[in-house]
Chain A
Amino acid sequence: MTTPLIRVRDLRVGYGETVLLDSATFEVEQGDIFVILGGSGCGKSTLLRHLVGLDTPMSGEIAIAGIGAPRLEGLVPRYGVMFQSGALFSSMTVGENVAFALNEWTELPPEAILAIVRAKLALVGLEGAEDKLPAELSGGMRKRAAIARAMAFEPNLIFLDEPSAGLDPVSAAELDQLILALNRGLGLTVVMVTHELESIFKVGKSCIMLDRVSRSIIARGEPSRLRTESDDPRVRQFFNRETSVPQWQ
């Protein structure tokens, strides 16, 4: 049995006085593609923000192997994060974005950094894009560049927030392929938030499903097994795209 890479115990998250998720306990194994899924407003992205250390939990514990509680400022980035919009620095070129952590945290000369940047961009299928500005890229390319930036410091863990959201089917499928390739080729552990069913079934190895009403994890396991074997109507409704809105007659 492998040691979990992330261990979450009795976590309570939310904003202000509002609790979005309570008593959440789960683990993410090394090499997993772990999907956090659920309907809109259930706290998926909020949970991700807590996992990466952007927000502090109301209570409970998050521990990442070799790091402890997630901490960010002033520390060498030990894991990568891709935001829903990409969040590339708009005043910098794509190459400068990818080189950012290397410039900040290493003594490497510019030529060496450029070589790494080019390799990382090639890895995500963006060869030759280093001199472009983020505004010149399509949505899918921006997300790829954001993954390259998150991968720049050779993390063994990467967090992705809604990677396929807002992309056309071809770009979304290409991004799914990239995630699988990084996971299989580099042994990268991926924690991603999504509600895109195709992505979930294509790349997800394990998942937890959050529920807005009960503010808890209502299902966990392999996505394909949950779809066919879960007895929970909320889980079936999600995986089978059923609706509670009255149908047209």
Chain B
Amino acid sequence: MSHRESVMPEDPIERLSLVVGMLQRFSWERAAGANGATRIQLGGSITIDDSAALWKRISALLAEPKPASPVEIDLSRITLIDGACMALLVHFRGELRARGVACEFTGGTDDVRRIVDLYGGRKKVKQKRLVRKPINAVEQVGNATVSVFRELKLVLDFFGQLVVSVTQALKHPKSLNLHDVGLTMERAGADAAPIVMLINFLIGFVMAYQSAAQLKQFGANLYVADMVGVSMTRELGPLMTAIILCGRSGAAFAAELGTMKVSEEVDALRTLGVMPLRYLVMPRMLGLVLMAPLLVLLADAVGIAGGALVAALSLDVTPTAFLIQLRGAVKPADIFSGVIKGMVFSGAVALISCQQGLATSGGAEGVGRRTTGAVVSILFSLIVLDAVFTVLMGVLGL
């Protein structure tokens, strides 16, 4: 005996969905099967267009209390079924079995049976659900902290290997890849000059402009030269230059070496007897560190020029007066400490980006992940190094 389910729901949305269901091309009937089993008899054509309606039926049945009797999915009236809908039926059977309810497919034309076989419908294997243990916030913070220290250890390890390579390269200077040093100096240094100049000019300009109102109140217009000069040479010039190098060259190094790693070019280099550290990392590091003083000096100069422009326009300080005041305010030690800072920052940019690049695995997605990781790690390191420098300079009285 079979019967069609015909309970009209009260909720209008459910009614609408029932009407949509009526337009479907397949039939779904629940009947009593042999030996007390529940038989779900499917009929008609069930293709991807009907998958939403089929899924609704399956979900509704799974939402009901667990059936007491075995379930039999009768496919004998199906004229056509595609892979997507078969996958839903196999999932349905798996869910029932996972709840301890016996469930089997029965009947079906040869074509339907082929689809059943293809989608594992004949397999008796028990579906084991992979249950992921949720990770709480404390655990996530713990994992992230461990991960930071692990990465730090890897960077220090990499630095150690690099020091060994430098020592070896000093013994055999011919083994150094000087071609790439020049290339890095051009790409990371000369090509970066316009953006370094623009950013630092604006930094000097904004700094002077923001302070103009306060300085005017106290009649201390001339001190804009002290403020801009010392800030740019000691702090902002090297820091902003390093941030630009991080975004331009750090990301480029990480992506370049990462791509070489995943395409086995780094391994190929090793099989030709060449150390990646000496051939790939040292030239990049050397190129960047050598260009840092020039870029920092350039940054200092244009930053101060930006300040001088505001001084002339808003504070009635002539360029000559600005320069005379600047000479008294900025000492050679300020410029020197900024240059040293810039070189250390550039070294950190090259070191971290190359380490991250050479640690890449996992194809294009891995390259993207490592490039992002490199930029974030470098920015974090720059701030930490800056803080260390500030304290160190204070202690040394510089």
Contact = CB atoms under 8 A, between A and B. Distances in A.
A34 B22 CA distance: 66
Given A77-B273, A101-B273, A246 B117 contact: yes
A224 interface: no
A218 B260 CA distance: 35
A74 interface: yes
A65 interface: no
Given A246-B122, A248-B117, A248-B118, A73 B265 contact: no
Nearest to A49: B267
Interface string A68-112: 000011111100110111011110000000001100110000000
A52 B267 CA distance: 10
Contact of A73 (B114, B123, B264, B270): B270
A74 B265 contact: no
A186 interface: no
A51 to B, nearest CB: 11
Contacts of A73: 270, 273-275
B391 to A, nearest CB: 39
A249 B114 contact: yes
A226 B56 CA distance: 54
A26 B275 CA distance: 30
B141 to A, nearest CB: 25
Interface residues of A, number: 28
Interface residues of B, number: 21
Interface in B252-287: 260, 263-265, 267-275
Interface in B137-189: 168
A80 to B, nearest CB: 8
Contacts of B114: 248-249
Nearest to B274: A104
Contacts of A150: 271
Classify the interface of chain B: helix, strand, loop or mixed: helix
A87 B272 contact: no
Nearest to A105: B273
B113 interface: yes
Contacts of A74: 168, 273, 275
Interface in A36-73: 49, 52, 54, 72-73
A103 to B, nearest CB: 10
A89 B270 CA distance: 12
A54 B268 CA distance: 9
A101 B271 CA distance: 10
B64 interface: no
B11 interface: no
A72 B268 contact: no
Contact of A249 (B113, B168, B260, B272): B113
A87 B113 CA distance: 46
Contacts of B274: 73, 100, 104
Interface string A154-180: 000000000000000000000000000
Residue with the highest number of chain A CB atoms closer than 10 Å, among B110, B117, B271: B271
A90 B265 contact: yes
A85 B275 CA distance: 21
B264 A77 contact: no
Given A87-B265, A89-B265, A249-B117, A104 B271 contact: no
Nearest to B183: A91
Given A81-B268, A246-B122, A87 B273 contact: no
A169 B123 CA distance: 36
A75 B272 CA distance: 8
Given A87-B263, A248-B118, A77 B271 contact: yes
Contacts of B264: 83-85, 87
Contacts of A83: 264, 267-268
Residue with the highest number of chain A CB atoms closer than 10 Å, among B263, B264, B270, B272: B272
A7 to B, nearest CB: 20
Interface in A110-142: none
A72 B270 contact: yes
A57 B263 CA distance: 23
A179 to B, nearest CB: 18
Contacts of B275: 73-74
Nearest to B110: A249
A95 to B, nearest CB: 15
A101 B110 contact: no
Interface in A3-51: 49
A87 to B, nearest CB: 4
A74 B277 CA distance: 11
A149 to B, nearest CB: 8
Nearest to A73: B275
A76 B117 CA distance: 56
Interface of B: 110, 113-114, 117-118, 122-123, 168, 260, 263-265, 267-275
Given A85-B263, A87-B268, A100-B274, 11 more contacts: A49-B267, A54-B267, A54-B271, A72-B271, A73-B273, A81-B268, A84-B264, A87-B264, A105-B273, A149-B272, A246-B117
Q: Which 10 A-B pairs have the closest CB atoms?
A: A87-B264, A87-B268, A81-B271, A73-B275, A83-B264, A77-B273, A72-B270, A101-B272, A75-B273, A87-B265
